[in-house]
Amino acid sequence: GISVRKKPQEALCKVGSIFEAPAFYDYMSGWDNLKVLVGLSGRFDKAAATEVVERVDLTDRIHSKVGAYSHGMRQRLALAQALLPEPEILLLDEPTDGLDPEGIKWFRDFILGLREERGMTVLFNSHLLSEVEQMCDRVAIIRAGELVYEGAVDELRDDRPGVKLEAKPPEILGSVAEDFRGERMGEDRWVFPEGTEIPDVVRSLIERGAEVSEVTPVRRSLEDVYLEHSSLSKP
């Protein structure tokens, strides 16, 4: 590899990045912004820029002033800028923040396609854990500047049976869940040891006189596991 300390310019030329609020010259066109910003770190290649602009679907507006761009268009321009050096590593810092659902899906599909096509390493920083779950192979959870978990997304999830249970009175629900060694995961969600038959849990509730109003199977999300690890790391 190349030492960032000894040869920072050579090392960073292989890295592209997008930040939450990319900065551009609003009085200049998208094309002129690319010429200036890409030119700061290397040679501006007109043919390569034209291809990238077309790929991020900005061809029709690339010569308009950036000040008239929507947030989604600014993110696409930032993506074009990040890809022009043909980086080996792409850093994404909250890239979908402020985008509408359609824009988020477009961005996700684009990055996944890029990763598949080029084998590019993508580091994705986001508080939108559902997006992390869909885009990433591996996850690192950081709390207060400390790494509290690192591993594969599939390992982070839990295959234990989960269920949304609503029953009254809550005392009976808590007692039955305890008998089946259930763990509360939120106000009305429970996770039971692997092999637990949920119908047996419901049957026990009814036999003890509980009024069961909802039983819905649920899969633990990355958000659930994130909250677990965050709480475990609290002093």
Q: Within a domain: residue 197?
A: yes
Banded model confidence at residue 182, pLDDT cuts 50, 70, 90? confident
Is the same domain home to 86 and 186?
Answer: no
Asked if 161 and 196 count as a contact pair (C-beta separation under 8 A), the reply is yes
R_g of the chain computed on alpha carbons: 24
Q: Within a domain: residue 103?
A: yes
Is the same domain home to 88 and 127?
Answer: yes
- What integer pLDDT is reported at residue 74 of this predicted model? 94
Is the same domain home to 32 and 127?
Answer: yes
Is the same domain home to 36 and 97?
Answer: yes
Is the same domain home to 125 and 38?
Answer: yes
Domain CATH code at residue 106: 3.40.50.300
CA angle 97, 49, 43 (to 5 degrees): 110
CA dihedral over 116, 104, 82, 7, signed as positive or negative: negative
Q: Within a domain: residue 1?
A: no
Q: What domain count does the chain have?
A: 2
- What integer pLDDT is reported at residue 159 of this predicted model? 62
Q: Within a domain: residue 152?
A: no
Out of 101, 136, 171, pick the residue that ends a domain. 136
Average pLDDT over residues 145-156: 82
- What integer pLDDT is reported at residue 56 of this predicted model? 94
Element housing 213 (H / E): strand 211-218
Give the integer Cα–Cα distance in Å for 84 and 16: 8
Asked if 139 and 224 count as a contact pair (C-beta separation under 8 A), the reply is no
Q: What is the pLDDT of residues 128-144, one digit of tens each?
A: 888 888 899 999 888 88
Asked if pLDDT for residue 108 goes beyond 80, the answer is yes
Q: Within a domain: residue 227?
A: no
Retrieve residue 97's tokens: 């923040």
Asked if pLDDT for residue 228 goes beyond 80, the answer is no
Is the same domain home to 125 and 172?
Answer: no
Q: Within a domain: residue 200?
A: yes
Q: Within a domain: residue 156?
A: no
Number of separate helices (H) and strands (E) present in the chain: 10, 9
Range of the domain at 121: 8-136
65 three-class SS = strand
Could you say which DSSP state residue 160 is in?
S
Where do we find the tokens 């009976």?
Answer: 172
Is the same domain home to 64 and 111?
Answer: yes
- What integer pLDDT is reported at residue 232 of this predicted model? 54
Average pLDDT over residues 186-213: 87
Is the same domain home to 125 and 180?
Answer: no
Asked if pLDDT for residue 186 goes beyond 70, the answer is no
Q: What is the pLDDT of residues 48-95, one digit of tens each?
A: 999 999 999 999 999 999 999 999 999 999 999 999 888 889 999 998
